[in-house]
Amino acid sequence: MSGEKQNIKFTDEEIQLSAMIAESLSGCKKASNGSEKADPSKLLMLAATHSVLPVIYSLARNLPLSEDDHRMLEGAMQESARTFYQFLRLSDRVVKLFRKAEIPVAVLKGVSVACLYPMPEMRRSSDIDLLLLNAEHLKKAEELLLAAGYRPMEEQFTNHHREWSTPENRILELHTMVVEPMDDAGRNRWIEKRFQLSEDMLFTRKALTVSFPALPEDLLAFHLLLHMLMHFVGSGFGLKLLCDWVVFWNRRVSKEETERFLSDIRECRLERFLSAVTTICVRYFGLKTDGTGTLRETETDYLYEDGVFCKKSPDDVVCELMREILDAEKEKAPDSARMVALRGDGFFDYVREFHHQTVLAFPKLSKTIVLLPGLYLIVLVRFLKNNKTRRGGQSAAAILKDAGRRGRLTKKLL
């Protein structure tokens, strides 16, 4: 892993962690470039920060760990396994609850993606995500959850899902949209239209003895990439989502499903983001290009069967995005200077994003133009308040500067 041409450096722990993930997910051993110097404790902390300790568990056990590190590693693996089995049971229970009431849903991410890993316990999940196929069923679904002992979370931060606490104190996210609307109306319309599904369009996935409805393969791949994009333009995403990408395409996905996925990518103009994510996963995290999975490799492209999957992303973009991903999780602390990424670093890019955040905060009121000045003021006050209480009092200038830096990267990706 090298970024010297762009003055981007990677630590020994980051290099070693990427090599261990690649070996765990695909069996391929990556050159460590001297990263045997990696500090085992720092490596485990980095893996824990990115929620990938269970992914490297079998390899990490052979490191020269202290007793505390061993306990940390074993505890992380046990918790990941417990969570998977509990979430599997909870998903099955809620799906059956809704199915009995004729409310069709699909299981997003979580156990649906964990099934693709060499062992499903390797994927650490923090919540259960269910997509209502018909948003008009939301009120009825929430009434059922209340009657079953679930409780809505006091604070709701998004428009595309509502969070509930299960009787076991786990989090259930009930989605009416697959992702939060972005600041591109055309792209939002296409995504909304593409995920208008009927129950007979769903794919039945199985984990152990439990079968549950999931997105069809092409839409699962599309959702995985959209989920990365949504988090990228928000506060960023970590290595776990790259692991999901690796295990999905390391299988043989049919030509028809791959072509439907690529058609969605073209319609949403996400070719460059697809190229960057795929190139990173091939270069660092074990995404196979030898034909045993879906992809093969040429000098300039990644291929599937006889077609082009995507172009290889330029080295400067790969290194910059890799640095961004590695930093994203540790910078989500309360004193972080992060805000959403812009689509550039010019004045109008800041204005456009400020308007977009106002629309997200007030989706109905913002449609009335005369109310916009007042709504802008409210959003500005919230921003300044959050800057003081959640970001450790960092200056607004520092936050805006960081947003501009990420905005320059966004321009290269979208």
Most confident of 220-224, 353-357, 375-379: 220-224
Whole domain around residue 382: which residue ranges?
Answer: 335-413
**Per-residue pLDDT tens over the stretch 159-218:** 568 899 999 899 999 999 888 887 778 888 899 999 999 999 999 999 988 999 999 999
User: Which tokens in the block code for residue 186?
Assistant: 């055309």
Lowest mean pLDDT among 126-135, 229-238, 328-337: 328-337
Residue of 340, 326, 333, 346 whose CA lies nearest to 402: 340
pLDDT band at 363 (very low <50, low <70, confident <90, very high): confident
Lowest mean pLDDT among 41-50, 56-65, 177-186: 177-186
Neighbour-count burial of 218, counting CB atoms closer than 10 A to its CB (0-12 exposed, 13-18 middle, 19+ buried): buried
**pLDDT at residue 204, as a whole number:** 95
Does some domain include residue 185? no
Does some domain include residue 397? yes
Which residue has better confidence, 360 or 325? Answer: 325
Does some domain include residue 18? no
Does some domain include residue 387? yes
Residue of 294, 284, 213, 209 whose CA lies nearest to 250: 294
Residue of 137, 127, 120 whose CA lies nearest to 90: 127
Most confident of 4-8, 168-172, 367-371: 168-172
**Per-residue pLDDT tens over the stretch 225-266:** 999 998 888 778 999 999 999 999 999 999 999 999 999 999
pLDDT band at 375 (very low <50, low <70, confident <90, very high): low
Does some domain include residue 327? no
CA 40 to mean position of chain CA atoms? 26
The number of distinct structural domains making up the chain is 1
Residue of 26, 48, 391 whose CA lies nearest to 240: 48
Does some domain include residue 81? no
Sheet holding 301-304, edge to edge: 295-297, 301-304, 307-311
The predicted model gives 327-338 an average pLDDT of 57
> Cα dist. 35→13, 20, 367 in Å?
7, 11, 54
pLDDT band at 53 (very low <50, low <70, confident <90, very high): very high
Looking at residue 8, the DSSP 8-state letter turns out to be: B
Lowest mean pLDDT among 287-296, 325-334, 379-388: 379-388
Does some domain include residue 3? no
Which residue has better confidence, 331 or 70? Answer: 70
**pLDDT at residue 235, as a whole number:** 73
Residue matched to tokens 């949504």: 230
* Cβ proximity of 12 and 35 under 8 Å: yes
**pLDDT at residue 334, as a whole number:** 38
Distance CA 133, CA 409 (A): 34
Does some domain include residue 386? yes
HEC-encoded secondary structure of 321-356: HHHHHHHHHHCCCCCCCCCCCCCCCCHHHHHHHHHH
Share the mean pLDDT of the chain: 85
Residue 161: which H helix or E strand, with range?
strand 161-165
